[in-house]
Amino acid sequence: MLWLTVLLLVPVWGCTAPAKAPDSAAGAIGRTLDRRAAAVLDRDERAYLAVLDPTATALRATGRREFRNLAEVPLDSWTYRLTDVERSGDRATVHAELRYRLTGYDRAPVSAPRTLELTERAGRWYVTADRPGEGGAQQLWEQGAVRAVRGARSLVLGAGQDDALLRAIAATADRAVPAVDDAWPRPWAGRAVLLVPGSLEAMARLLGASAAGYRGIAAVTTGITAGDGAAGTAPADRVVVNPEAYGALSGFGREIVLAHEITHVATRTATSAATPTWLSEGFADRVAYRGTDRTAGEIAPELQRAVRGGDAPAALPADEDFAFGAGADRLARAYESGWLACELIAERWGERRLTDFYRAVGAHAGREGAVEKALHDVLATTPEDFTARWRAYARQRLG
């Protein structure tokens, strides 16, 4: 799971100038980007190209391709918010937030930092360059023509992929959503948006990260949460599929992966900086495996190996145990340990108490004391008692 944190503001049409504009150029530049935003929503290629520098041949060719790549993306809104304008004569560098929302799927806009360069000609500002801003990443339509496949409870957007794979992913996601609904009886969007790039490298570019960190990872969930990491916001999530690792899975494995990731979508508003990774990942794994015929040993083979070898963990995994570079065995044991902890809560205290516990942890003001308070308030136990019960449960289920 990947958490992306930005500041959410109420979307408005067009572009908002920064509070401290360097000069009147900010207003004119804002109007240029307003026209660009309107052209995207109106599907007006001519108007879209009109804001690009007439002499920037390569940029105009790229702009034309990207505009056409967006043809199937169901856009409800597309705006720019200026955060900084640096002007030098007839040239300017602009830092802005691109915000867009998908019709029928996003409760809030996705926000992506962009850096744009502009030049002034005869009193008008034209875009001469547009690239991801600091901390930003490539967008799917920058990788090729986007194909949209609508499922009953899902939207799959793919670039560089064939329709058969996109339809199969939509069908799998459609089966996962009701299963997640059943396990998480709390309000959520009840639908999922999945991005399927053409390769592992393309996936990494969408995430703004190194491909090496995602090799063997079938999918991740990116989400927008409040800037302070608080729970209760209405985010716009994306499940990003690694086509190479996902393609190597069995049908059952694909079902598990998408159910796991869609659980993250459902629980996002109850998840915060106070939520430890063992709980968020363990809960998602429990939902994914819930109702299957897999034994505990089949779900947690690495943890079973450790228990039977006399090397059972003494404590629940720390967040760093879930790092992609932690090593395959350590990472597997971490996920399996979180799953087993959630299994214990559901079996000992009940399904309702498990979801109540999850929500109570996420509602805490910060990480410190969150689990301890929820254990006391919801389960009437202590960290020491719960850990002892978890270790005994591991021996019982996996010994």
Q: What per-residue confidence (pLDDT) applies to 229? A: 43
Is 4-136 CATH 3.20.20.140? no
Q: What per-residue confidence (pLDDT) applies to 212? A: 87
Reading phi first (left if > 0) and then psi (alpha if -120 to 50, else beta), residue 153 is in: alpha
Q: In terms of Cα–Cα distance, which of 106, 83, 80, 112 is closest to 6?
A: 112
What mean pLDDT comes out for the span 195-205?
A: 97
* Cα separation values, 345 from 201, 269, 342, 354, Å: 39, 21, 5, 6
Domain coordinates in residue numbering, the chain: 4-136, 139-266, 272-399
Distance CA 244, CA 80 (A): 34
What mean pLDDT comes out for the span 43-51?
A: 98
Distance CA 89, CA 140 (A): 34
Distance CA 228, CA 121 (A): 42
CATH of domain 139-266: 3.30.2010.30
Task: Determine the topology of domain 272-399 in CATH.
Answer: Neutral Protease; domain 2 (1.10.390)
- Read out DSSP for 210-251? -GGGGTT--EEEE-EE-TT--S------EEEE-HHHHHTS-H
Distance CA 212, CA 224 (A): 24
User: 342 and 286 in contact (C-beta within 8 Å)?
Assistant: yes
Q: How many CB atoms lie within 10 A of CB 252?
A: 10
User: 382 and 375 in contact (C-beta within 8 Å)?
Assistant: yes
pLDDT surpassing 90 at residue 7: no
List the alpha helices (DSSP H) in the chain. 25-42, 45-50, 57-69, 163-183, 200-207, 243-247, 251-267, 277-289, 296-299, 301-308, 328-348, 351-362, 370-379, 383-398
DSSP state letter for 120: E
Q: What per-residue confidence (pLDDT) applies to 386? A: 98
pLDDT surpassing 70 at residue 231: no
Distance CA 167, CA 163 (A): 6
Q: What predicted TM-score, i.e. pTM, was given to this entire model? A: 0.89
In percent, the amount of the chain with pLDDT more than 90 equals 84
What mean pLDDT comes out for the span 298-319?
A: 96
Q: What per-residue confidence (pLDDT) applies to 17? A: 44
Q: What per-residue confidence (pLDDT) applies to 327? A: 79
Q: What is the pLDDT of residues 325-370, one digit of tens each?
A: 667 889 999 999 999 999 999 999 999 999 999 999 999 999 999 9
Q: In terms of Cα–Cα distance, which of 229, 293, 223 is closest to 263?
A: 223
Q: How many CB atoms lie within 10 A of CB 10?
A: 6
Q: What per-residue confidence (pLDDT) applies to 328? A: 84
| Least confident stretch, 163-167, 197-201, 214-218, 391-395 | 214-218
Which residue type occupies 25?
A
User: 71 and 43 in contact (C-beta within 8 Å)?
Assistant: yes
Q: What per-residue confidence (pLDDT) applies to 23? A: 58
Distance CA 31, CA 36 (A): 9
pLDDT surpassing 70 at residue 296: yes
Distance CA 342, CA 393 (A): 11
Same fold across 4-136 and 139-266: no
